[in-house]
Amino acid sequence: MTTRKCIAVILAAGEGTRMKSHTPKVLHKIAGRSMVGHVVDTVQKAGISSIAVVIGPGRDDVAAVIHGLAPDAQCFVQTERLGTAHATLAARAAIGTDYEDVLVLFADTPLLEPATIKAMRGRLVEGNGVVALGFEAKNPNGYGRLLTQGGDLLAIREQKDASEAERAVTLCNSGLLALDGKVALKLLDAVGNNNAQSEFYLTDVVALAHGLDVSTGYELAEESEVMGVNDRTQLATAEAVIQDRLRRKAMLNGATLTDPGSVFFAHDTIIGRDVVIEPQVVFGPNVVVGDRVNIHAFCHIEDATIENDAAIGPFARIRPGSNIGEGAKIGNFVELKKADIGAGAKISHLSYIGDAVVGADANIGAGTITCNYDGFFKYKTIIGEGAFIGANSSLVAPITIGAGAYVGSGSVITKEVAPDQLAVARGKQIAKDGWGASFRQTSEAKKKAGKPS
């Protein structure tokens, strides 16, 4: 790892008009995290701690996301969108402070890997003043083209300025550019806007470098790693690429995915060993799954911890703030929210358990509902270890049910149940012998007489 001082400048001020969205482009998510969040994370993983991000005016929402991940990142506002070189210069104050390596990244290129950043820096160490990152595009339309000669990078030509022959080039510009800190500002200041879009193109620094006797080079990456996201179709393509990476990672770490293509992970999902994930399972952010967990088909899980040997689903919904203890069982059509389920507890069918603590080995019968909300506030339900809640019970919170207690089926529990107590709170059963036969006899007689009563 080099000891050279490095700053990453992430451009995130573009209008993103092709997204046709009220949300800024760089806050659109893939695998549950914003595009700019992915880029900040990649930069950090590449060992770069000085980060400057260029954002659009009034974009406090973008700044908040960035500071959530990198509290020390500096945000600079580009007041007018005059192109990528102009955007980079918005961070002039940061770039000018004595860095050996200056990396410029685009927030709309979210699949970039840390190793590629390191390789780019390696090319600077070799003595290059400007290093571009190119890729062979299946469809080069819209990308800038790398114009090379015998392995030398001569210039990058934007599509709108390219001649027909240049448009035929399929070696495209990913956007990531590494600059020698000694010449970075000089090159950027020399960029003009005499082009088809009257923009200050960052890509022009390559041709300008030749005029200043600064050597240039390029690295190559796979298209799947450096594709740009400018519209929703590309957003979907990027999502597919990242999901494939995450599925592969889970499988290589020892999980079985019966139908990998139907399982959707978040960027931070952690899956243990010998976990089986059946088809059609979706993970939201912040899920940790232990070892030997079975996740049956059609589950939705977010912000939750599932401990070793637990079983979930099919058709379970695990909402934020839930913890499922070792060997616990959450069955079909069960919804959990902010629920702490003890080891070995069973909630096997058709329940809503929210704002609750369920003790170890408790058994929650089918159709049990925690009534946690009165329209204004949420209240807590506490169920002790080994308690048995009969089917179709309503537990009206705030409520505590002691360890080892029994609740009779169909109860509406509104008062505390002591440990080992039996609580039954439902209409008493009445019994009338022969009532059915006599009811039928009188009703048939009335019907014959044509009278309803």
Q: Which is nearer to ligand UD1, 120 or 172 (CB)?
A: 172
From the list ligand UD1, Mg ion, none, partner contacted by residue 82 (C-beta under 5 to 8 A by kind): ligand UD1
User: Using CB under 6 A as the criterion, which residues of the chain lie in contact with ligand UD1 when the complex forms?
Assistant: 11-14, 54, 78, 81-84, 86-87, 106-109, 143-144, 156, 158, 172-175, 201-203, 228, 230
Residue with the shortest CB distance to ligand UD1 = 144
Q: Which is nearer to Mg ion, 37 or 228 (CB)?
A: 228
From the list Mg ion, ligand UD1, none, partner contacted by residue 84 (C-beta under 5 to 8 A by kind): ligand UD1
The count of chain residues that interact with Mg ion, using the rule CB under 5 A, is 3
Tell which one of 195, 230, 243, 409 touches Mg ion (CB under 5 A). 230
Q: Which is nearer to ligand UD1, 74 or 294 (CB)?
A: 74
284-303 residues near Mg ion, rule: CB under 5 A: none
Cα torsion 255, 258, 264, 265 to 10°: value is 0
Residue 332 C-beta: closest distance to Mg ion, Å:
44
Any idea which residues carry the catalytic annotation?
349
Q: Which is nearer to Mg ion, 159 or 409 (CB)?
A: 159
Calpha distance 245→239 (Å, rounded)? 10
From the list Mg ion, ligand UD1, none, partner contacted by residue 172 (C-beta under 5 to 8 A by kind): ligand UD1
From the list Mg ion, ligand UD1, none, partner contacted by residue 154 (C-beta under 5 to 8 A by kind): none
Q: Which is nearer to Mg ion, 12 or 31 (CB)?
A: 12
Q: Which is nearer to ligand UD1, 86 or 121 (CB)?
A: 86
Ramachandran category for residue 125: left, alpha or beta (phi over 0 → left; psi -120 to 50 → alpha): alpha
Residue 255 C-beta: closest distance to ligand UD1, Å:
33
Residue 379 C-beta: closest distance to ligand UD1, Å:
46
**Which residue, 177, 176, 155, is CA-closest to 108?**
176
Residue 76 C-beta: closest distance to Mg ion, Å:
19
Q: What x-and-dash track marks residues 81-110 binding Mg ion by CB under 5 A? A: ---------------------------x--
Encode the chain in three state secondary structure. Answer: CCCCCEEEEEEECCCCHHHCCCCCHHHCEECCEEHHHHHHHHHHHCCCCEEEEEECCCCHHHHHHHHHHCCCCEEEECCCCCCHHHHHHCCHHHHCCCCCEEEEEECCCCCCCHHHHHHHHHHHHCCCCEEEEEEECCCCCCCCEEEEECCEEEEEECHHHCCHHHHCCCEEEEEEEEEECCCHHHHHHHCCCCCCCCCCCHHHHHHHHHHCCCCEEEEECCHHHHCCCCCHHHHHHHHHHHHHHHHHHHHHCCCEECCHHHEECCCCCEECCCCEECCCEEECCCEEECCCCEECCCEEECCEEECCCCEECCCCEECCCEEECCCCEEEECCEEEEEEECCCCEEEECCEEEEEEECCCCEECCCCEEECECCCCECCEEECCCCEECCCCEEECCEEECCCCEECCCCEECCCECCCCEECCCCCCCCCCCHHHHHHHHHHHHHHCCCCC
From the list ligand UD1, Mg ion, none, partner contacted by residue 342 (C-beta under 5 to 8 A by kind): none
Q: Which is nearer to ligand UD1, 241 or 423 (CB)?
A: 241
From the list ligand UD1, Mg ion, none, partner contacted by residue 221 (C-beta under 5 to 8 A by kind): none
Calpha distance 244→225 (Å, rounded)? 12
Residue with the shortest CB distance to Mg ion = 228
From the list Mg ion, ligand UD1, none, partner contacted by residue 269 (C-beta under 5 to 8 A by kind): none
From the list ligand UD1, Mg ion, none, partner contacted by residue 13 (C-beta under 5 to 8 A by kind): ligand UD1
Bridge partners, 133 (sequence order): 219
Residue 322 C-beta: closest distance to Mg ion, Å:
38
Q: Which is nearer to ligand UD1, 14 or 32 (CB)?
A: 14
Residue 56 C-beta: closest distance to ligand UD1, Å:
7
Residue 152 C-beta: closest distance to ligand UD1, Å:
18
Residue 299 C-beta: closest distance to Mg ion, Å:
36
Calpha distance 191→308 (Å, rounded)? 58
Tell which one of 32, 144, 228, 342 touches Mg ion (CB under 5 A). 228
Residues near Mg ion (CB under 5 A): 108, 228, 230
